[in-house]
Structure 1
């Protein structure tokens, strides 16, 4: 049996395990044609995608160009897996709940307020966010604290592009993200599993790292509701719960934010929550992971990589005890 391996020796999924959406593959071929020809064509495609979004408000095409500097060596997970196996407690605690219950979310109209220690506070609607910087596709690995992972083509741009627009003051040491908490749209908000609204946070140097992605789509379409529509962040070197979904407010603050999971269980969910195979969750090991889509008789456990393999973030934590600041 032939098992493909990437240059770093990590086993890749079997071809039979990869079932990407047909439209995603056709878009891929078109992007390759553009790369061989005209970059201007990609700009026109992106513009058309944004116009379609403005007209439909649904899962419109975004026409983002692949950024090869931010592409995982791994094959993308199946669209079906990425949209039916989710953590989004605002819609329920079971992995299948978000896909079943998130139809009540209304991603348009939508605004995100940016406030706090900034010179230029502002409120941006979804169209303004889409136009703030060129959209690009980045294929990131996503590692969840429960021990499973996926590989997803996300669409967005570096969070630093937004940060530059609002001009943080010298007092801005952290960035806080606040998610929507509307009981009418989100049935899980009535539960006591977490304190609502869902809050996450980063140090400002983490938020400014090029890998931190302000995310507006996946698989070249706008975000499905169950994946955090219409705007979220993606932080591929941290466990998945750090990537706040359905964001309505971004605050620049002096003090470390009190985040949802850290409040709920501080001994289990640290503020930093960097992927670290050497620091186990109190109830299970983090040394290996299960890639969704590789289930079955021939399923293989993968070795968890430090920072999920995104080692260029290591300088952010130089001199820190990562077992203490977990």
Structure 2
């Protein structure tokens, strides 16, 4: 469906806002009822993270390397999920030119000693941008191999000195319907929001992206600042970030709030936990060939192939319940 078609959806096909808001209350009640809990629902408290988990420098570096050929720049920048610019995969590359990426500021706050509103340049000042080749796995079953340019998320977060109350990190996307016309269609509760547990956010693989293939990040790929968490499904990689907040409780996240039975808060890539409407056991690489868009299907790997680096984050957790 194109953005133009989405904006023409008849009003009778759009859920009334009062009903939409009430749905959240009903889901919370179900989660509280014995035997009726919703797996991964943010209204319940997950088990605490392991007290001892250390990733060696060599383990971390091994996650940045791959023998797989990167997806072509042309495919990375024309096949996107970015509902703020339309629900079709080709919509963002056509519509996102309305997004103004300069000047750009990010508000950092919550449970930290040094909150503030910073320009993008100041936010990453002192951090030398580096290239990391990560796999991006989307929940619909397709994936890419992308050479991202950016800085480790942990290096940025530590500068704000999160306190002991900072158990999670919440992220928020720009909220501006003029720049992001897809926000005029209530496919989600705008602005887009995502979150990580603090130890996930501090993991060496979590990355704040400012570019790809050595170039500035295009608007359709989340310019000028987006998140990449390579062991999770792609929608966790929130785009066009304007706020980062340290919080004590599991934060509201857009897809989990909209459809908690389909999109868990953690959303770790897991071939053993299917989406209710399709299997997650295989995936299709964007092929980058002239003859076809997708390569042949390949088996999905637990944690998107990064199990050696991140499995310890979830030791003792039921990954079917906390999907």
Structure 1 length as normaliser, TM-score?
Answer: 0.78
The structure whose RCO (Cα within 8 Å, separation 6+) is larger is 2
> Does 1:304 pair with 2:300?
yes
Deviations 1:116-162 (A, max 9, x none): 00000022212213423111100000000000000000011110001
Judge conservation of contact 1:115–1:252 (CA < 8 Å) in 2.
yes
The gaps in structure 2 that reach 5 residues or longer are: 1-60
- Structure 1 range deviating more: 271-280 or 293-302: 293-302
The gaps in structure 1 that reach 5 residues or longer are: 1-66
- Structure 1 range deviating more: 297-306 or 227-236: 297-306
Q: Describe the SS at the equivalent of 2:194.
A: strand
Cα displacement (A) at 1:72: 2.2
Would you say how many aligned residue pairs link Structure 1 and Structure 2? 260
Deviations 1:139-187 (A, max 9, x none): 0000000000000000111100011100001100000000001001000
- Are the structure 2 counterparts of residues 103 and 297 from structure 1 closer, same or farther at C-alpha, using a change threshold of 3 Å? closer
> Does 1:120 pair with 2:91?
no
1:317 counterpart residue number? 314
Judge conservation of contact 2:286–2:295 (CA < 8 Å) in 1.
no
> Does 1:255 pair with 2:252?
no
CA distance in 2, matches of 1:299, 1:182: 37
Cα displacement (A) at 1:69: 5.8
Runs of 4+ aligned residues of structure 1 deviating over 2 Å after TM superposition are 129-132, 294-299
Deviations 1:277-324 (A, max 9, x none): 000000000000011126749941011000000111000000000000
> Does 1:139 pair with 2:143?
no
Judge conservation of contact 1:194–1:264 (CA < 8 Å) in 2.
yes
1:86 counterpart residue number? 80
Judge conservation of contact 1:132–1:162 (CA < 8 Å) in 2.
no
Q: Over aligned residue pairs, what C-alpha RMSD do you find?
A: 1.5
Judge conservation of contact 2:286–2:294 (CA < 8 Å) in 1.
no
CA distance in 2, matches of 1:278, 1:116: 36
Judge conservation of contact 1:90–1:181 (CA < 8 Å) in 2.
no
- Structure 1 range deviating more: 178-187 or 286-295: 286-295
1:192 paired residue among 186, 196, 214: 186
